[in-house]
Amino acid sequence: MSISSLTSNDGRELTIKIAGRFDFSALQNFRNAYETLDHPAERYIVDLKESDYLDSSALGMLLALRDYAGGDGANIKIVHCKPDVKKILVITKLDELFTIDM
Amino acid sequence: MQEWHFSLELHAQTLRNFDPLPLLLHILVESPELAVHKGVLYTILAELYSNALDHGVLGLDSSMKADAKGFATYYSQREMLLNDLMQGYIRFNIKHVTTSTGGKLILRIEDSGSGFDYQQYLNNNFKKEGYSGRGILLVRDLCEEFHYLGAGNCVEAIYSWQYPDVREQKT
């Protein structure tokens, strides 16, 4: 699994892309992507276009990002979900906590 | 591949640095009927394996994952315990059978741990706390059947598929 991240020109939006299996093996890289910014982002996009598999450790990582970004007030979109990935997010009710786009 | 069965037993030295999930998934998707379910099958295997390894073999407690800090501590402890692992095993017994409407994949995973009080866990309705507790919930939802066996150090999950699924995926 690899993590790459990109901040928008105005610094307000952070996109984190996950390629490969999404699980705890890149926990530190995932956290660094949002914790080490000079100014915290206002909006977050998690791009799962290149991620086919995830497990519950990935769900924990998403929830940690959500808490960091302000909990109920967090603005996080999970985009380009594969159908099986979306299924996992729906079963665990994470679709109620995040905006999810296929 | 339609009717098959295999077992795999991994011991401490192997558990330390070998990730069996790609291998296991690779075998399962040799059955074309299972290949269309690979995302879901990965999640089921990953949950069952991480439970066996983290709680059974390494003795980690999920309640640590109550907040973001604990979540990170849990995974750094996991790495430490795994690096020093001297004993323990995980056994996979995986079987696929066909039925008149499709097939069933029977996954039985046993670890060398002492088990746990699963009756109490079941009675508490799989309490979710902080960042933990979603793994088994997922497996239960995705599988037709899920049971703890013995002292709780063994689980059996049955994933059923039906032919119409295959047709839907192709359209």
ipTM of the complex: 0.91
- Show Cβ contacts of residue B129 under 8 Å, excluding neighbours closer than 6 positions: B62, B63, B65, B66
Asked if A54 lies within 8 A of B132 by C-beta distance, the reply is: no
Q: Residue B47: its chain A contacts at CB < 8 A?
A: 55-56
pLDDT in tens, chain B (171 residues): 789 999 999 999 999 999 999 999 999 999 888 999 999 999 999 999 999 999 999 999 998 998 889 999 999 999 999 999 999 999 999 999 999 999 999 999 999 999 999 988 888 765 666 788 889 989 999 999 999 999 999 999 999 999 875 455 554
Task: State which residue of chain A sits closest to B74, comparing Cα positions.
Answer: A24
Interface with chain A: mutation pick from B26, B36, B40, highest number of A CBs within 10 Å: B40
Helix H or strand E encompassing A27: helix A27-35
Cβ neighbours of A57 (radius 10 Å): 25
| Total count of domains within chain B | 1
Domain that holds residue B41: 4-170
Residue B135 belongs to domain with CATH number: 3.30.565.10
The answer to whether B162 faces chain A, any CB pair under 8 Å, is no
Single pTM value for the model: 0.92
Q: Choosing among B47, B134, B171, which should be mutated to test the A contact, i.e. which has the most A CBs within 10 A?
A: B134
> Which residues of A are less than 8 Å from B75 in CB distance?
24, 27, 57
Give dist(CA B55, CA B78) in Å, integer.
Answer: 10
